[in-house]
Chain A
Amino acid sequence: MLKKFSNWLDNQQHLALAIIVPVFVLLLTFAYIPAIQSFRFSFLRYNIKMPARIRFNGLDNYLAVLRDPMFQRSILRVLYFMLLATVMVIVISLAIALVLNRKFPGRGIVRTLVIIPWAIPPVVNGHLWKWIFNGEYGALNGLLFQLGIIDSYQFWLNNPFTALNLAAFTFIWRYTPFIIVLFLGVLQSIPGELYEAARVDGAGAVGQFFFITIPSLQRIGAIAVILTLISSFTVFDDIYALMGFDESTKTPMIYNYEVTFEMGRFGKGSAMAYMIGIFLFILTFFYIRMNLRKERP
Protein backbone atom coordinates (compact mmCIF):
# COMPACT_ATOMS: atom_id res chain seq x y z
CA MET A 1 0.00 0.00 0.00
CA LEU A 2 2.67 2.44 1.13
CA LYS A 3 4.96 1.18 -1.61
CA LYS A 4 2.21 1.81 -4.14
CA PHE A 5 1.70 5.35 -2.89
CA SER A 6 5.42 5.98 -2.96
CA ASN A 7 5.53 4.87 -6.58
CA TRP A 8 2.56 7.01 -7.49
CA LEU A 9 4.24 9.99 -5.87
CA ASP A 10 7.49 9.45 -7.75
CA ASN A 11 5.80 10.35 -10.99
CA GLN A 12 6.88 13.95 -11.68
CA GLN A 13 3.39 15.15 -12.52
CA HIS A 14 1.87 13.60 -9.38
CA LEU A 15 4.58 14.82 -7.04
CA ALA A 16 4.41 18.36 -8.42
CA LEU A 17 0.64 18.47 -7.99
CA ALA A 18 0.84 17.04 -4.47
CA ILE A 19 3.20 19.86 -3.55
CA ILE A 20 1.51 22.69 -5.38
CA VAL A 21 -2.19 22.03 -4.83
CA PRO A 22 -2.28 22.78 -1.06
CA VAL A 23 -0.41 26.04 -1.58
CA PHE A 24 -2.59 26.86 -4.55
CA VAL A 25 -5.73 26.42 -2.43
CA LEU A 26 -4.32 28.79 0.21
CA LEU A 27 -3.43 31.42 -2.38
CA LEU A 28 -6.92 31.28 -3.82
CA THR A 29 -8.58 31.43 -0.42
CA PHE A 30 -6.50 34.13 1.21
CA ALA A 31 -5.39 36.27 -1.72
CA TYR A 32 -7.17 35.91 -5.05
CA ILE A 33 -10.75 35.35 -3.85
CA PRO A 34 -10.66 38.23 -1.31
CA ALA A 35 -9.23 40.47 -4.03
CA ILE A 36 -12.20 39.61 -6.26
CA GLN A 37 -14.54 40.03 -3.31
CA SER A 38 -13.39 43.59 -2.59
CA PHE A 39 -13.56 44.34 -6.31
CA ARG A 40 -17.24 43.39 -6.08
CA PHE A 41 -17.67 45.57 -2.98
CA SER A 42 -16.32 48.55 -4.89
CA PHE A 43 -19.51 48.64 -6.99
CA LEU A 44 -21.83 48.36 -4.01
CA ARG A 45 -23.25 50.80 -1.58
CA TYR A 46 -22.05 48.91 1.44
CA ASN A 47 -21.57 50.13 4.97
CA ILE A 48 -20.71 47.31 7.34
CA LYS A 49 -22.65 49.06 10.10
CA MET A 50 -25.81 48.87 7.95
CA PRO A 51 -25.63 45.42 6.35
CA ALA A 52 -29.33 45.49 5.40
CA ARG A 53 -28.88 48.39 2.99
CA ILE A 54 -26.46 46.93 0.47
CA ARG A 55 -27.22 47.73 -3.16
CA PHE A 56 -25.48 48.10 -6.51
CA ASN A 57 -24.43 51.65 -7.31
CA GLY A 58 -22.20 51.31 -10.35
CA LEU A 59 -19.21 53.61 -10.44
CA ASP A 60 -20.54 55.93 -7.72
CA ASN A 61 -17.86 54.86 -5.23
CA TYR A 62 -15.04 55.55 -7.68
CA LEU A 63 -16.48 58.98 -8.51
CA ALA A 64 -16.98 59.75 -4.84
CA VAL A 65 -13.34 58.93 -4.12
CA LEU A 66 -12.09 61.10 -6.98
CA ARG A 67 -14.23 64.02 -5.83
CA ASP A 68 -13.32 63.61 -2.16
CA PRO A 69 -11.11 66.61 -1.25
CA MET A 70 -9.56 64.63 1.61
CA PHE A 71 -8.44 61.95 -0.87
CA GLN A 72 -7.03 64.57 -3.25
CA ARG A 73 -5.01 66.13 -0.46
CA SER A 74 -3.80 62.71 0.69
CA ILE A 75 -2.45 62.05 -2.81
CA LEU A 76 -0.46 65.30 -2.85
CA ARG A 77 0.80 64.51 0.64
CA VAL A 78 2.01 61.04 -0.28
CA LEU A 79 3.69 62.28 -3.45
CA TYR A 80 5.72 64.67 -1.33
CA PHE A 81 6.39 61.87 1.17
CA MET A 82 7.56 59.50 -1.60
CA LEU A 83 9.81 62.08 -3.23
CA LEU A 84 11.46 63.10 0.03
CA ALA A 85 11.81 59.51 1.24
CA THR A 86 13.20 58.16 -2.03
CA VAL A 87 15.79 60.90 -2.48
CA MET A 88 16.94 60.65 1.14
CA VAL A 89 16.99 56.85 1.24
CA ILE A 90 19.07 56.63 -1.93
CA VAL A 91 21.53 59.35 -0.88
CA ILE A 92 22.03 58.09 2.70
CA SER A 93 22.24 54.44 1.68
CA LEU A 94 24.77 55.16 -1.03
CA ALA A 95 26.93 57.21 1.35
CA ILE A 96 26.86 54.52 4.04
CA ALA A 97 27.43 51.70 1.55
CA LEU A 98 30.49 53.49 0.13
CA VAL A 99 31.98 53.84 3.62
CA LEU A 100 31.23 50.21 4.49
CA ASN A 101 32.86 49.08 1.26
CA ARG A 102 36.22 50.47 2.45
CA LYS A 103 38.49 48.36 4.65
CA PHE A 104 38.71 49.34 8.32
CA PRO A 105 38.92 47.48 11.62
CA GLY A 106 35.51 46.46 12.96
CA ARG A 107 33.86 46.71 9.56
CA GLY A 108 32.04 43.39 10.00
CA ILE A 109 30.38 44.55 13.21
CA VAL A 110 29.29 47.86 11.70
CA ARG A 111 27.84 46.02 8.71
CA THR A 112 25.78 43.91 11.10
CA LEU A 113 24.60 46.74 13.37
CA VAL A 114 23.52 48.86 10.44
CA ILE A 115 20.82 46.30 9.54
CA ILE A 116 19.01 46.55 12.89
CA PRO A 117 16.59 49.43 12.07
CA TRP A 118 15.25 47.41 9.15
CA ALA A 119 14.46 44.42 11.36
CA ILE A 120 12.37 46.07 14.07
CA PRO A 121 8.57 46.01 13.66
CA PRO A 122 7.47 49.12 11.71
CA VAL A 123 4.74 49.88 14.23
CA VAL A 124 7.31 49.81 17.02
CA ASN A 125 9.45 52.15 14.94
CA GLY A 126 6.55 54.62 15.03
CA HIS A 127 6.19 54.34 18.82
CA LEU A 128 9.92 54.73 19.33
CA TRP A 129 10.11 57.99 17.40
CA LYS A 130 6.93 59.30 18.97
CA TRP A 131 8.76 59.21 22.28
CA ILE A 132 11.88 60.85 20.84
CA PHE A 133 9.84 63.64 19.16
CA ASN A 134 7.72 64.14 22.31
CA GLY A 135 7.16 67.84 23.00
CA GLU A 136 7.48 67.75 26.79
CA TYR A 137 10.30 65.30 27.51
CA GLY A 138 11.52 64.09 24.12
CA ALA A 139 15.17 63.36 23.44
CA LEU A 140 15.16 65.46 20.25
CA ASN A 141 14.15 68.52 22.25
CA GLY A 142 16.70 67.71 24.96
CA LEU A 143 19.51 67.30 22.45
CA LEU A 144 18.75 70.42 20.41
CA PHE A 145 18.25 72.43 23.61
CA GLN A 146 21.60 71.36 25.07
CA LEU A 147 23.36 72.08 21.80
CA GLY A 148 21.83 75.57 21.89
CA ILE A 149 19.96 75.11 18.61
CA ILE A 150 16.55 75.81 20.17
CA ASP A 151 15.72 78.11 23.12
CA SER A 152 12.64 76.24 24.26
CA TYR A 153 11.06 72.82 23.80
CA GLN A 154 8.99 72.46 20.62
CA PHE A 155 5.89 70.37 19.95
CA TRP A 156 7.27 69.01 16.68
CA LEU A 157 4.33 66.82 15.79
CA ASN A 158 1.78 69.63 16.20
CA ASN A 159 3.04 71.50 13.17
CA PRO A 160 1.53 69.74 10.10
CA PHE A 161 4.50 70.28 7.80
CA THR A 162 7.08 69.27 10.42
CA ALA A 163 4.97 66.24 11.30
CA LEU A 164 4.86 65.09 7.67
CA ASN A 165 8.63 65.48 7.34
CA LEU A 166 9.29 63.65 10.59
CA ALA A 167 6.94 60.84 9.56
CA ALA A 168 8.98 60.53 6.36
CA PHE A 169 12.12 60.53 8.47
CA THR A 170 10.97 57.53 10.54
CA PHE A 171 10.45 55.62 7.31
CA ILE A 172 13.80 56.73 5.91
CA TRP A 173 15.55 55.52 9.05
CA ARG A 174 13.89 52.11 8.95
CA TYR A 175 14.27 51.56 5.22
CA THR A 176 17.87 52.64 4.51
CA PRO A 177 19.47 49.39 5.78
CA PHE A 178 17.68 47.38 3.11
CA ILE A 179 18.99 49.63 0.33
CA ILE A 180 22.46 49.70 1.93
CA VAL A 181 22.54 45.90 1.70
CA LEU A 182 21.58 46.04 -1.99
CA PHE A 183 24.20 48.67 -2.83
CA LEU A 184 26.89 46.95 -0.80
CA GLY A 185 26.24 43.66 -2.57
CA VAL A 186 26.97 45.26 -5.94
CA LEU A 187 29.91 47.35 -4.69
CA GLN A 188 31.61 44.22 -3.38
CA SER A 189 31.21 42.49 -6.73
CA ILE A 190 33.03 45.19 -8.72
CA PRO A 191 36.36 43.55 -9.63
CA GLY A 192 39.42 45.34 -8.22
CA GLU A 193 41.17 45.10 -11.60
CA LEU A 194 38.69 47.62 -12.98
CA TYR A 195 39.91 50.25 -10.52
CA GLU A 196 43.49 49.15 -11.15
CA ALA A 197 43.03 49.67 -14.89
CA ALA A 198 41.44 53.07 -14.35
CA ARG A 199 44.36 54.12 -12.14
CA VAL A 200 46.83 53.05 -14.81
CA ASP A 201 44.87 55.16 -17.28
CA GLY A 202 45.33 58.10 -14.93
CA ALA A 203 41.90 58.33 -13.29
CA GLY A 204 41.94 59.82 -9.78
CA ALA A 205 39.60 58.91 -6.92
CA VAL A 206 36.87 61.16 -8.35
CA GLY A 207 37.30 59.79 -11.85
CA GLN A 208 37.14 56.21 -10.59
CA PHE A 209 33.95 57.04 -8.69
CA PHE A 210 32.20 58.53 -11.72
CA PHE A 211 33.50 56.13 -14.36
CA ILE A 212 33.37 52.84 -12.45
CA THR A 213 31.38 53.00 -9.21
CA ILE A 214 28.37 54.99 -10.44
CA PRO A 215 27.85 53.07 -13.73
CA SER A 216 28.09 49.74 -11.86
CA LEU A 217 25.32 50.87 -9.52
CA GLN A 218 22.95 51.95 -12.27
CA ARG A 219 20.81 48.83 -12.45
CA ILE A 220 20.60 48.25 -8.72
CA GLY A 221 19.94 51.98 -8.32
CA ALA A 222 16.89 51.75 -10.58
CA ILE A 223 15.61 48.75 -8.61
CA ALA A 224 16.23 50.59 -5.34
CA VAL A 225 14.27 53.64 -6.53
CA ILE A 226 11.26 51.56 -7.51
CA LEU A 227 11.34 49.54 -4.29
CA THR A 228 11.57 52.70 -2.18
CA LEU A 229 8.74 54.35 -4.12
CA ILE A 230 6.50 51.33 -3.55
CA SER A 231 7.40 50.99 0.13
CA SER A 232 7.07 54.70 0.92
CA PHE A 233 3.68 54.77 -0.74
CA THR A 234 2.44 51.83 1.29
CA VAL A 235 3.73 52.93 4.71
CA PHE A 236 0.99 52.37 7.24
CA ASP A 237 2.28 51.03 10.57
CA ASP A 238 4.88 53.73 11.30
CA ILE A 239 2.49 56.61 10.52
CA TYR A 240 -0.39 54.98 12.38
CA ALA A 241 1.72 54.64 15.53
CA LEU A 242 3.27 58.09 15.23
CA MET A 243 0.25 60.19 14.29
CA GLY A 244 -2.89 58.02 14.21
CA PHE A 245 -5.47 59.51 11.83
CA ASP A 246 -4.16 63.06 12.23
CA GLU A 247 -4.76 64.99 9.04
CA SER A 248 -1.21 66.27 8.67
CA THR A 249 0.10 62.79 7.82
CA LYS A 250 -3.01 61.26 6.32
CA THR A 251 -1.69 59.42 3.28
CA PRO A 252 -4.03 57.42 1.02
CA MET A 253 -3.20 54.25 3.00
CA ILE A 254 -4.14 55.85 6.31
CA TYR A 255 -7.23 57.50 4.85
CA ASN A 256 -8.27 54.27 3.18
CA TYR A 257 -8.01 52.43 6.49
CA GLU A 258 -10.03 55.14 8.24
CA VAL A 259 -12.81 55.11 5.62
CA THR A 260 -13.01 51.32 5.55
CA PHE A 261 -12.46 50.08 9.06
CA GLU A 262 -13.18 53.13 11.23
CA MET A 263 -16.21 54.40 9.31
CA GLY A 264 -17.22 50.95 8.06
CA ARG A 265 -17.70 52.16 4.48
CA PHE A 266 -16.60 48.97 2.72
CA GLY A 267 -17.92 50.07 -0.69
CA LYS A 268 -16.06 53.36 -0.90
CA GLY A 269 -13.06 51.84 0.88
CA SER A 270 -12.80 49.05 -1.70
CA ALA A 271 -13.01 51.51 -4.58
CA MET A 272 -10.22 53.57 -3.02
CA ALA A 273 -8.16 50.45 -2.39
CA TYR A 274 -8.49 49.45 -6.03
CA MET A 275 -7.44 52.88 -7.25
CA ILE A 276 -4.40 52.74 -4.97
CA GLY A 277 -3.83 49.14 -6.01
CA ILE A 278 -3.71 49.92 -9.73
CA PHE A 279 -1.08 52.58 -9.11
CA LEU A 280 0.98 50.13 -7.04
CA PHE A 281 0.52 47.38 -9.58
CA ILE A 282 2.11 49.56 -12.26
CA LEU A 283 5.16 50.20 -10.06
CA THR A 284 5.43 46.53 -9.07
CA PHE A 285 5.06 45.45 -12.68
CA PHE A 286 8.15 47.44 -13.64
CA TYR A 287 10.04 45.96 -10.72
CA ILE A 288 9.19 42.35 -11.58
CA ARG A 289 9.95 42.91 -15.26
CA MET A 290 13.36 44.32 -14.37
CA ASN A 291 14.05 41.26 -12.26
CA LEU A 292 12.85 38.74 -14.80
CA ARG A 293 14.91 40.33 -17.55
CA LYS A 294 18.12 39.32 -15.84
CA GLU A 295 16.95 35.74 -15.35
CA ARG A 296 16.93 35.15 -19.08
CA PRO A 297 20.36 34.60 -20.56
Chain B
Amino acid sequence: MRRKAINQILLGLLAILIIFWSLAPIVWVLISSISTRAELYSVPPHWIPHKPTLEPYKIVLITGEGFRGGGGISAAELMRKGILNSIIISVSTTALVMIFAPLLGYAFSRLTFKGRNLFFYIIIGIIALPSWPVLIGLFSEFSALGLLDTKIGLILLSFTFRIPFETWFMKGYFASVPKEIEDAARIDGCTHFQTLYRVSIYVVLPGLIAVSIISFLFTWNMFMAPLVLTYTLRSKPLTVAMTEFIGQYFVHWDLMSAGTILAIIPPVLIVLFFQKYIVKGLSAGAIK
Protein backbone atom coordinates (compact mmCIF):
# COMPACT_ATOMS: atom_id res chain seq x y z
CA MET B 1 0.00 0.00 0.00
CA ARG B 2 2.75 2.42 0.97
CA ARG B 3 4.76 1.45 -2.10
CA LYS B 4 1.77 2.25 -4.27
CA ALA B 5 1.45 5.71 -2.72
CA ILE B 6 5.14 6.45 -3.34
CA ASN B 7 4.67 5.26 -6.90
CA GLN B 8 1.75 7.63 -7.42
CA ILE B 9 3.70 10.59 -6.03
CA LEU B 10 6.64 9.78 -8.27
CA LEU B 11 4.35 9.55 -11.30
CA GLY B 12 2.79 12.87 -10.33
CA LEU B 13 6.19 14.55 -10.18
CA LEU B 14 7.16 13.09 -13.55
CA ALA B 15 3.87 14.30 -15.02
CA ILE B 16 4.59 17.83 -13.77
CA LEU B 17 8.05 17.65 -15.30
CA ILE B 18 6.53 16.56 -18.62
CA ILE B 19 4.04 19.43 -18.55
CA PHE B 20 6.87 21.85 -17.78
CA TRP B 21 8.91 20.51 -20.71
CA SER B 22 5.96 20.84 -23.09
CA LEU B 23 4.48 24.14 -22.00
CA ALA B 24 7.06 26.28 -20.20
CA PRO B 25 8.41 27.94 -23.39
CA ILE B 26 4.90 28.80 -24.55
CA VAL B 27 3.81 30.05 -21.13
CA TRP B 28 6.88 32.27 -21.01
CA VAL B 29 6.00 33.82 -24.37
CA LEU B 30 2.43 34.31 -23.16
CA ILE B 31 3.74 36.12 -20.07
CA SER B 32 6.10 38.18 -22.23
CA SER B 33 3.16 39.23 -24.38
CA ILE B 34 1.31 40.79 -21.44
CA SER B 35 4.34 42.36 -19.74
CA THR B 36 5.33 46.01 -19.87
CA ARG B 37 8.61 46.61 -21.65
CA ALA B 38 10.26 47.81 -18.45
CA GLU B 39 9.47 44.57 -16.65
CA LEU B 40 10.37 42.43 -19.63
CA TYR B 41 13.80 44.01 -19.95
CA SER B 42 14.71 43.68 -16.29
CA VAL B 43 17.59 41.43 -15.25
CA PRO B 44 16.72 38.81 -14.11
CA PRO B 45 13.26 38.84 -15.72
CA HIS B 46 9.98 39.24 -13.79
CA TRP B 47 8.56 35.74 -14.13
CA ILE B 48 5.13 37.04 -13.12
CA PRO B 49 4.20 40.48 -14.44
CA HIS B 50 3.29 43.00 -11.72
CA LYS B 51 1.32 45.17 -14.10
CA PRO B 52 -0.12 42.92 -16.84
CA THR B 53 -1.07 44.82 -19.98
CA LEU B 54 -2.75 44.10 -23.31
CA GLU B 55 -0.88 46.96 -24.97
CA PRO B 56 1.33 44.65 -27.12
CA TYR B 57 -1.78 43.04 -28.66
CA LYS B 58 -3.30 46.47 -29.27
CA ILE B 59 -0.17 47.61 -31.08
CA VAL B 60 0.17 44.43 -33.11
CA LEU B 61 -3.47 44.31 -34.17
CA ILE B 62 -4.80 47.87 -34.18
CA THR B 63 -2.51 50.85 -33.75
CA GLY B 64 0.82 49.39 -34.98
CA GLU B 65 2.80 52.26 -36.45
CA GLY B 66 4.49 52.15 -39.86
CA PHE B 67 7.96 50.69 -39.85
CA ARG B 68 11.17 51.18 -41.76
CA GLY B 69 11.16 49.29 -45.03
CA GLY B 70 7.44 48.63 -44.73
CA GLY B 71 6.64 50.78 -47.77
CA GLY B 72 3.87 52.66 -45.99
CA ILE B 73 2.30 49.48 -44.60
CA SER B 74 1.73 49.60 -40.89
CA ALA B 75 2.80 46.70 -38.69
CA ALA B 76 -0.79 46.11 -37.61
CA GLU B 77 -1.96 45.93 -41.22
CA LEU B 78 0.77 43.40 -41.96
CA MET B 79 -0.37 41.18 -39.09
CA ARG B 80 -4.08 41.56 -39.81
CA LYS B 81 -3.69 40.74 -43.49
CA GLY B 82 -1.40 37.85 -42.63
CA ILE B 83 -3.98 36.36 -40.30
CA LEU B 84 -6.75 36.80 -42.86
CA ASN B 85 -4.66 35.23 -45.65
CA SER B 86 -3.72 32.30 -43.44
CA ILE B 87 -7.36 31.67 -42.56
CA ILE B 88 -8.47 31.82 -46.21
CA ILE B 89 -5.66 29.55 -47.42
CA SER B 90 -6.00 26.97 -44.62
CA VAL B 91 -9.79 26.79 -44.72
CA SER B 92 -9.88 26.45 -48.51
CA THR B 93 -7.22 23.73 -48.54
CA THR B 94 -9.05 21.86 -45.80
CA ALA B 95 -12.34 22.14 -47.70
CA LEU B 96 -10.72 20.69 -50.83
CA VAL B 97 -9.24 17.85 -48.79
CA MET B 98 -12.64 17.17 -47.23
CA ILE B 99 -14.18 16.84 -50.67
CA PHE B 100 -11.45 14.81 -52.35
CA ALA B 101 -10.10 12.57 -49.57
CA PRO B 102 -13.30 10.48 -49.22
CA LEU B 103 -13.78 10.36 -52.99
CA LEU B 104 -10.25 9.08 -53.55
CA GLY B 105 -10.45 6.69 -50.62
CA TYR B 106 -13.70 5.29 -52.00
CA ALA B 107 -12.29 4.99 -55.51
CA PHE B 108 -9.18 3.10 -54.44
CA SER B 109 -10.86 0.79 -51.96
CA ARG B 110 -14.33 0.14 -53.43
CA LEU B 111 -14.12 0.53 -57.18
CA THR B 112 -12.41 -1.71 -59.70
CA PHE B 113 -11.03 0.11 -62.69
CA LYS B 114 -8.19 -0.01 -65.16
CA GLY B 115 -4.95 1.58 -63.95
CA ARG B 116 -5.94 1.45 -60.29
CA ASN B 117 -2.51 0.46 -59.00
CA LEU B 118 -0.69 2.74 -61.40
CA PHE B 119 -2.74 5.77 -60.35
CA PHE B 120 -2.33 4.90 -56.69
CA TYR B 121 1.45 4.72 -56.96
CA ILE B 122 1.59 7.96 -58.95
CA ILE B 123 -0.36 9.67 -56.18
CA ILE B 124 1.56 8.32 -53.20
CA GLY B 125 4.81 8.76 -55.15
CA ILE B 126 4.57 12.41 -54.07
CA ILE B 127 5.35 11.30 -50.52
CA ALA B 128 8.69 9.96 -51.69
CA LEU B 129 9.37 12.97 -53.94
CA PRO B 130 11.43 15.44 -51.89
CA SER B 131 9.49 18.70 -51.98
CA TRP B 132 12.70 20.68 -51.99
CA PRO B 133 13.83 20.25 -55.63
CA VAL B 134 10.19 20.77 -56.62
CA LEU B 135 10.16 24.25 -55.12
CA ILE B 136 12.82 25.61 -57.49
CA GLY B 137 10.98 24.43 -60.59
CA LEU B 138 7.74 25.55 -59.03
CA PHE B 139 8.95 29.14 -58.81
CA SER B 140 9.43 29.28 -62.59
CA GLU B 141 6.13 27.53 -63.17
CA PHE B 142 4.21 29.81 -60.84
CA SER B 143 5.56 32.84 -62.65
CA ALA B 144 4.68 31.30 -66.04
CA LEU B 145 1.12 30.52 -64.89
CA GLY B 146 0.66 33.89 -63.19
CA LEU B 147 0.28 32.20 -59.81
CA LEU B 148 3.13 33.99 -58.04
CA ASP B 149 1.88 35.95 -55.07
CA THR B 150 -1.67 34.56 -55.24
CA LYS B 151 -3.65 32.76 -52.56
CA ILE B 152 -5.11 30.32 -55.08
CA GLY B 153 -1.61 29.17 -56.01
CA LEU B 154 -0.78 28.38 -52.39
CA ILE B 155 -4.11 26.62 -51.85
CA LEU B 156 -3.64 24.33 -54.86
CA LEU B 157 -0.04 23.72 -53.86
CA SER B 158 -0.71 22.72 -50.28
CA PHE B 159 -3.63 20.58 -51.44
CA THR B 160 -1.30 18.81 -53.90
CA PHE B 161 1.19 17.97 -51.18
CA ARG B 162 -1.44 16.87 -48.64
CA ILE B 163 -3.73 14.75 -50.77
CA PRO B 164 -1.30 11.80 -51.23
CA PHE B 165 -1.14 11.25 -47.45
CA GLU B 166 -4.89 11.68 -47.10
CA THR B 167 -5.61 9.32 -49.98
CA TRP B 168 -3.40 6.66 -48.46
CA PHE B 169 -5.01 7.16 -45.07
CA MET B 170 -8.60 7.11 -46.37
CA LYS B 171 -7.95 4.03 -48.52
CA GLY B 172 -6.78 2.25 -45.38
CA TYR B 173 -9.73 3.58 -43.40
CA PHE B 174 -12.28 2.40 -45.98
CA ALA B 175 -10.61 -1.01 -46.02
CA SER B 176 -10.95 -1.26 -42.23
CA VAL B 177 -14.72 -0.62 -42.06
CA PRO B 178 -17.37 -3.19 -43.02
CA LYS B 179 -18.71 -3.02 -46.56
CA GLU B 180 -22.08 -4.68 -45.93
CA ILE B 181 -24.18 -1.54 -45.45
CA GLU B 182 -22.81 -0.11 -48.66
CA ASP B 183 -23.65 -3.31 -50.50
CA ALA B 184 -27.18 -3.11 -49.14
CA ALA B 185 -27.48 0.47 -50.38
CA ARG B 186 -26.26 -0.61 -53.81
CA ILE B 187 -28.85 -3.37 -53.93
CA ASP B 188 -31.52 -0.83 -52.99
CA GLY B 189 -30.63 1.02 -56.17
CA CYS B 190 -28.27 3.73 -54.95
CA THR B 191 -25.60 4.83 -57.39
CA HIS B 192 -21.98 4.70 -56.20
CA PHE B 193 -22.09 8.42 -55.67
CA GLN B 194 -25.25 8.21 -53.54
CA THR B 195 -23.82 5.30 -51.59
CA LEU B 196 -20.73 7.34 -50.79
CA TYR B 197 -22.60 10.45 -49.68
CA ARG B 198 -25.54 8.79 -47.93
CA VAL B 199 -23.86 5.80 -46.31
CA SER B 200 -20.08 5.47 -46.48
CA ILE B 201 -19.33 9.03 -45.44
CA TYR B 202 -20.84 8.44 -41.98
CA VAL B 203 -18.87 5.25 -41.52
CA VAL B 204 -15.54 6.89 -42.30
CA LEU B 205 -16.33 10.20 -40.63
CA PRO B 206 -13.77 9.85 -37.79
CA GLY B 207 -11.04 9.25 -40.34
CA LEU B 208 -12.21 12.18 -42.41
CA ILE B 209 -12.10 14.50 -39.40
CA ALA B 210 -8.56 13.32 -38.64
CA VAL B 211 -7.24 14.05 -42.14
CA SER B 212 -9.04 17.39 -42.30
CA ILE B 213 -7.52 18.57 -39.03
CA ILE B 214 -4.02 17.50 -39.99
CA SER B 215 -4.39 19.22 -43.37
CA PHE B 216 -5.49 22.42 -41.66
CA LEU B 217 -2.48 22.35 -39.31
CA PHE B 218 -0.10 21.58 -42.17
CA THR B 219 -1.39 24.52 -44.22
CA TRP B 220 -1.53 26.96 -41.31
CA ASN B 221 2.09 26.12 -40.43
CA MET B 222 3.41 26.26 -44.00
CA PHE B 223 6.37 28.63 -44.33
CA MET B 224 9.08 27.84 -46.88
CA ALA B 225 6.86 27.61 -49.97
CA PRO B 226 5.04 30.91 -49.30
CA LEU B 227 8.36 32.56 -48.41
CA VAL B 228 9.50 31.86 -51.97
CA LEU B 229 6.19 32.25 -53.78
CA THR B 230 4.67 35.40 -52.25
CA TYR B 231 5.84 39.03 -52.11
CA THR B 232 2.99 41.19 -50.96
CA LEU B 233 0.15 41.31 -48.48
CA ARG B 234 -2.16 40.08 -51.23
CA SER B 235 -1.16 36.53 -50.37
CA LYS B 236 1.43 36.42 -47.57
CA PRO B 237 0.30 34.06 -44.82
CA LEU B 238 0.80 34.86 -41.15
CA THR B 239 3.98 32.77 -40.81
CA VAL B 240 5.72 34.84 -43.49
CA ALA B 241 4.23 38.20 -42.48
CA MET B 242 5.22 37.58 -38.89
CA THR B 243 8.81 36.77 -39.76
CA GLU B 244 9.10 40.04 -41.61
CA PHE B 245 7.48 41.84 -38.74
CA ILE B 246 10.00 40.38 -36.31
CA GLY B 247 12.82 41.43 -38.61
CA GLN B 248 11.54 44.99 -38.34
CA TYR B 249 10.76 44.99 -34.64
CA PHE B 250 13.96 43.25 -33.78
CA VAL B 251 14.20 44.56 -30.24
CA HIS B 252 10.49 44.71 -29.39
CA TRP B 253 10.16 41.30 -27.81
CA ASP B 254 6.79 42.13 -26.22
CA LEU B 255 5.28 42.69 -29.67
CA MET B 256 7.01 39.63 -31.07
CA SER B 257 5.57 37.58 -28.23
CA ALA B 258 2.06 38.87 -28.94
CA GLY B 259 2.52 37.92 -32.60
CA THR B 260 3.73 34.46 -31.61
CA ILE B 261 0.71 33.88 -29.40
CA LEU B 262 -1.66 34.98 -32.18
CA ALA B 263 0.01 32.54 -34.58
CA ILE B 264 -0.24 29.57 -32.22
CA ILE B 265 -3.79 30.10 -30.97
CA PRO B 266 -5.47 28.11 -33.77
CA PRO B 267 -3.11 25.10 -33.60
CA VAL B 268 -3.31 25.01 -29.80
CA LEU B 269 -7.12 25.15 -29.82
CA ILE B 270 -7.21 22.37 -32.39
CA VAL B 271 -5.00 20.18 -30.22
CA LEU B 272 -7.15 20.83 -27.16
CA PHE B 273 -10.43 19.99 -28.91
CA PHE B 274 -9.40 17.30 -31.38
CA GLN B 275 -6.56 15.51 -29.60
CA LYS B 276 -8.13 12.08 -30.23
CA TYR B 277 -8.38 12.61 -33.97
CA ILE B 278 -4.84 13.95 -34.21
CA VAL B 279 -3.47 10.91 -32.41
CA LYS B 280 -5.46 8.65 -34.72
CA GLY B 281 -4.32 10.50 -37.84
CA LEU B 282 -0.68 10.65 -36.81
CA SER B 283 -0.27 7.06 -35.78
CA ALA B 284 -2.26 5.64 -38.67
CA GLY B 285 -0.43 7.93 -41.07
CA ALA B 286 2.96 6.83 -39.87
CA ILE B 287 2.39 3.14 -39.28
CA LYS B 288 -0.37 2.07 -41.64
Contacts and interface: CB of A to CB of B under 8 A. Distances in A.
Nearest to A183: B283
Interface in B122-137: 122-124, 126-130, 132-137
B193 A124 contact: no
B192 to A, nearest CB: 5
B263 A121 contact: yes
Contacts of B209: none
B267 A121 contact: yes
Interface in B39-82: 40-45, 47
B138 to A, nearest CB: 4
Contacts of A142: 43-45, 47
Contact of A112 (B103, B128, B267, B271): B271
Contacts of B11: 99, 102, 104
Residue from A127, A139, A223, A273 with most neighbouring chain B CB atoms (10 Å): A127
A260 interface: yes
B39 to A, nearest CB: 10
Contact of A29 (B25, B141, B224): B141
Contacts of A273: 130, 132-133, 135-136
A291 interface: yes
B111 A35 contact: no
Contact of B260 (A23, A128, A143, A223): A128
B287 A185 contact: yes
Interface in B152-179: 156-157, 159-161, 163-164, 172
A34 interface: yes
A260 B130 contact: no
Contacts, number: 279
B6 interface: no
Interface stretch (A10-18, A70-78, A80-88, A192-200): A10-18
Interface string A230-242: 0000101100110
B65 to A, nearest CB: 21
A119 interface: yes
B25 A129 contact: yes
Contact of B44 (A146, A178, A223): A146
A294 interface: yes
A154 B22 CA distance: 24
A178 B271 CA distance: 12
A123 B239 contact: yes
Given A99-B15, A269-B136, A27 B160 contact: yes
B232 interface: no
A115 B278 contact: yes
Contact of B191 (A6, A116, A220, A277): A6
A119 B19 contact: no
B160 to A, nearest CB: 4
Contacts of B253: 131, 134, 137
Contacts of A37: 136-137, 140-141
- 5 smallest CB-CB distances across A and B, nearest first, come from A34-B137, A37-B137, A38-B137, A121-B221, A119-B267
